[in-house]
Every structure is written in structure tokens, then in C-alpha cells.
Amino acid sequence: MSVKTVATRPFAGQKPGTSGLRKKVKVFSQPGYLENFVQSIFDTLNGQQGQTLVLGGDGRYFNDVAIQIILRMAAAAGFGRVLVGQGGILSTPAASAVIRKRAAFGGIILSASHNPGGVEGDFGIKYNLANGGPANETFTDAVYQRTQGITEYRYVEADDIDLSRLGETRIGAMTVEVIDPVADYAELLESLFDFERIAALLARPGFRMRFDAMHAVTGPYAKALLERRLGAPAGTVVNGTPLADFGGGHPDPNPVYAADLVNAMADPGLGLSFGAASDGDGDRNMIVGSNFIVSPSDSLAILTANYSLIPAYAKGLAGVARSMPTSCAVDRVAADFGIPCFETPTGWKFFGSLLDAGKATLCGEESSGTGSNHVREKDGLWAVLYWLNILAARNESVEQIVRAHWQKYGRNVYSRHDYEGVESAKAEAMFTALRGKLPTLAGQTIGGMRVRMADDFSYTDPVDGARSEHQGVRILLEDGSRVVFRLSGTGTEGATIRLYLERYVADPAQHSVPTQQALAPLIALAESVAQITATTGRTKPDVIS
């Protein structure tokens, strides 16, 4: 086996963000760019000799090229075996499931998640640890340091591996095993839910479901689970063929980018009772009832409130966790059940230690991510099956379930406004000015609302003591409402400003007030404090979810 060494020079900006390194395909396909980052991951690892690596991605443009490069580099790094999904495909939760089931050393997931794909689109890469979860900041910081001092990368010369056929081949001393990307994951999900009951629901006259895979990775997974194992009629999964450019769409399951699904769910002629969508790599979910969109924060609270209906969780939840900008709806359920509720920074990597330590069973983020201790990633289809299991057990509509939840716990009216592609310097200026105001805000009354506290969120991991600073500016009001500002860590063009708005409404008579109307005073407060329009020139958000 001959290991080739190639001299290289550092690229600027190879710093992983909220979830790995995400850049334009054009950036990733520069000679040496991917190789430098992968070598920096391998150089940061310790003890991988002879061990197993899991490798796969969401099938976006450049996925196939990147996989062949990484296989040759993994052989040079001394891995004994690489498990790669057939066709180079593994959804993010499936990769996590495979890492855990096969006791792998870790995994490399190729995805830019909900970001658009294609030649002009985005690509991404992240490393997951042996627990199946995204590497923590200590690891990603070390990888970044390494990228800035790298001088060479290594690979084993070999022809491209045929990824279309299951089975084993070798690169030097390393075995490459092409695995079924769906099997381990589908088996795991089947072990968590009441499949018989869900199958009966799907066969019920009058119950009609649509799952929109948005031409992304979940198509084959959804077809296997919903149509083949659970017997949903063929055609339940739409846009189910994964495409390298997601059919030109933006595979982000929100009311703007999944408008087709939202419109179908509002069309009485179609008679759809339950709709769902997932994102590029299959970790996000959107849940829609008949003409009724469920907010992701509410979804987390409702999954928690209904845990006793789900075989895997019926014995009890150790606790729940949500990212800081996620609404406090789940906090109320946790308080009701007397279980802990953790508030973490944005990004799934912060849930890993809580799940590993058995402190939390369910986790979620406002950005359409929910999951549990079954893997260490958020999991789109898991959330869909959880909802189906609840619907099958309760025999009520999605809207009835949500409204009954609000009736019992009150409604945390919630929305996120995204300003995308803002000039980075302007976004930075806005945050600098905002942070400068923080010490003076507490006690002020703005637009008739009194500020209780304002800070830049920081977090100390309760398990390993790791500290994370500057995780989002929070303005907490005396009536329990919140306004949060963050800069996205996953975008690839300019800056994306995220404004999160939350107001608690106990009175059921007010629960049907349209969301943006109910939040109008907070939107005005956010503008007056942060001066978004004055600083960025933007008069309205690009996406409201």
C-alpha cells in the first residue's frame, strides 16, 4: 500500500459553524480545500488505527466526488473499515444510528442540510463522535487550529470504489463496506413506536397523509417506512427521489420553502389530514394538520406532553432540553411533570452530553428539529412517526391536539424572522450596537413593556463544565415575553440575522389571534432596540416561520 503525501497550504476560514463547515460548492471544490479539512479532522483524532468510520451524505452535488477523496484519505489515516451508505447516501440521523449500532469510532457526514444544493449551491462536512453526535466545540476548535497550520495531506492511491453495489472492497489495508443506508435506521425507528397502531391509522378511511421529501435524502427512508413497512398508499411520499440539486428547490421545511405542502394541506379537495416534510439531510421536520401548521416549539412541547403514548418513552422521561431561542412551551410541560428542562445554546451538539449522561430524553430546537436519546442527531422521520403514533392513539386531529394543549398549558405564541444575505459588516455593526445597549436595558419600559433582563446568553455544560459565550442576545420582559437576536452560523453568503419572538398567552379566547398580530408589539420593540432597518436597510424579513 503506498501512501502519497501532498504538500498544501492553509485556506482561510475553515472554521466549523453551528453544524460543521458549510461553504459554496465552488469553495469546496478548489484543489486541496476538502482534503485540508479532512486531514485536519484525522490529525485531531487519536486512536483511529484499525477502527471503523461511518461515511455518507445527503446526495447533494459534490457528495460523490467528496466520498471517493475521503475514502482514500481514511485509508492513509489508518482506519480499518469504512461503512459507506450505498450510493454515498446516509441521512444525518441514519448516520448517527449506524455509528451507534456498529460501535464505530466516528463518522463523517456530508451535508449542508437545508441549504440549497447544485453547482451553485452549498456543501458541508462535519465529524460525529462515537456517541453518534456532532463533535463538541473543543474538537471543532482543534480542527480549525489544525487547518490554519496544515502543510500536507495524505491518501492511498486507488481507483474509485463502486458505491452502487452492497458489499466489501479494499483500499490498501482498509475495508470499504457499502451498506444499505436505510436498514439499521428503519429497524431502530420500528423499535420505538407502535407500528401496528400507526398502520391501522394509515389504513383508516378518511385519514390521508402526505410526506414531502423535497427531493432530498429522506425520500428512500420515508418510502421504506411509511409506504412499505406501514402500508401507506403509494404516492403518500411526494418529491421522493433525491436529486443533487434538490430539483432547484430550497430543502428547508418551513412555510415559505415547503409552501406546496402547506397549500395542499389547505386544499379541501385533497382531504389531507396529516402532512409532514423534511430537509436536505433528513434531520429537520415540519408538521402540518389540515389547514394548520404546528410551530416546531409547540411540537416539542406536545411530543413531551404525550410521551406516555409512545412505547419507547412510556416508562418516563429523564428530562427535556431545548435551545435557548426555542419557545418556553416545553418548560411548562416539564414543570407539570416535575422533570428537568435544560436550556442550551443553538446547535444539536450541545444536547449530546445531556443525552449521554441520561439527563434528557427528548430535545428540540425552534428550527424544526426534534429528537431523542435513540440517536445523537435531530431526526425528521422520528418526529413524523411520533406524531403519527399520537394521532393513532388519541383519535383527534392535529389542530384539536394542539388547541387542547394550549387550553391546558397556555400558548407560547412564537415566530422567527430571518434577514438573509445581509452585508456582514452591517450585521456586525448592528450586534455591536445592540450589545453596547445591554447593560442599560433592564428596568426600561419600551413600547409599554418593561424589560426584566437583557444579556448575551452563555452556557456551562452541566456534565463536562464546558463554557460557551456569546450565544445570542436576549431581552426578557416582565410579562414573560422574549426577544432574541442571533447571527446564523450555517449560512454561506453574507450574514443571516435571526430575530426570535415569543409571547405567552394564557387566555384561550386569545389563542386564535394570528401569530404576527399577537407579536406586533414585540416586533416593534425589537426594531426600536436593534434598529434592524436603519442599520441593514432591510424593511422586512426574507423568511417568517
Q: Which residues bind ligand G16 (CB under 6 A)?
A: 18-19, 113-114, 279, 283-284, 323, 346-348, 365, 367, 369, 488-490, 498
Dist CA 189 CA 275 (whole Å): 19
Query: Under a CB-based contact definition with an 8 Å cutoff, are residues 191 and 230 in contact?
Result: no
CB of 249 to ligand G16, least distance (A): 16
CB of 43 or CB of 420, closer to ligand G16: 420
CB of 28 or CB of 348, closer to ligand G16: 348
CB of 52 or CB of 370, closer to ligand G16: 370
CB of 40 or CB of 297, closer to ligand G16: 297
Dist CA 35 CA 187 (whole Å): 34
CB of 345 to ligand G16, least distance (A): 9
- Which amino acids are annotated catalytic? 113
CB of 447 to ligand G16, least distance (A): 26
- All three cell numbers of 527: 426594531
CB of 355 to ligand G16, least distance (A): 15
H-helix segments, 296-397: 296-305, 329-337, 352-356, 380-394
3-state helix, strand, coil in the chain (%, to 5): 35, 25, 40
Dist CA 491 CA 495 (whole Å): 7
CB of 254 to ligand G16, least distance (A): 11
CB of 289 or CB of 472, closer to ligand G16: 472
Dist CA 523 CA 499 (whole Å): 9
Give, as one character, the DSSP assignment of residue 380.
H
Who's near 514: CB < 8 A, 6+ residues apart?
Answer: none
Query: What's the distance, CA 392 to chain centroid?
Result: 26
Dist CA 433 CA 535 (whole Å): 10
CB of 491 to ligand G16, least distance (A): 6
As to burial, measured by CB atoms within 10 angstroms (0-12 exposed, 13-18 middle, 19+ buried), residue 138 is exposed
What is the end-to-end Cα distance of the chain in Å, rounded? 53
Q: Count CB-CB contacts under 10 A for residue 196.
A: 10
Who's near 68: CB < 8 A, 6+ residues apart?
Answer: 160, 161
CB of 158 or CB of 483, closer to ligand G16: 483
- CA-nearest of 160, 158, 173 to 51 is 173
CB of 394 to ligand G16, least distance (A): 28
CB of 227 or CB of 281, closer to ligand G16: 281
CB of 41 to ligand G16, least distance (A): 18
Residue 299 bridge partners (DSSP): none
Dmax of the chain from CA atoms? 73
Query: Under a CB-based contact definition with an 8 Å cutoff, are residues 118 and 104 in contact?
Result: no
- CA-nearest of 355, 329, 331 to 461 is 355
Query: Under a CB-based contact definition with an 8 Å cutoff, are residues 374 and 188 in contact?
Result: yes
CB of 117 to ligand G16, least distance (A): 13
CB of 18 or CB of 361, closer to ligand G16: 18
CB of 35 or CB of 283, closer to ligand G16: 283
Q: Which residues of 511-540 are buried (b: 16+ CB within 10 A; e: fewer)?
A: beeebeebbebbbebbeebbebeebbebee
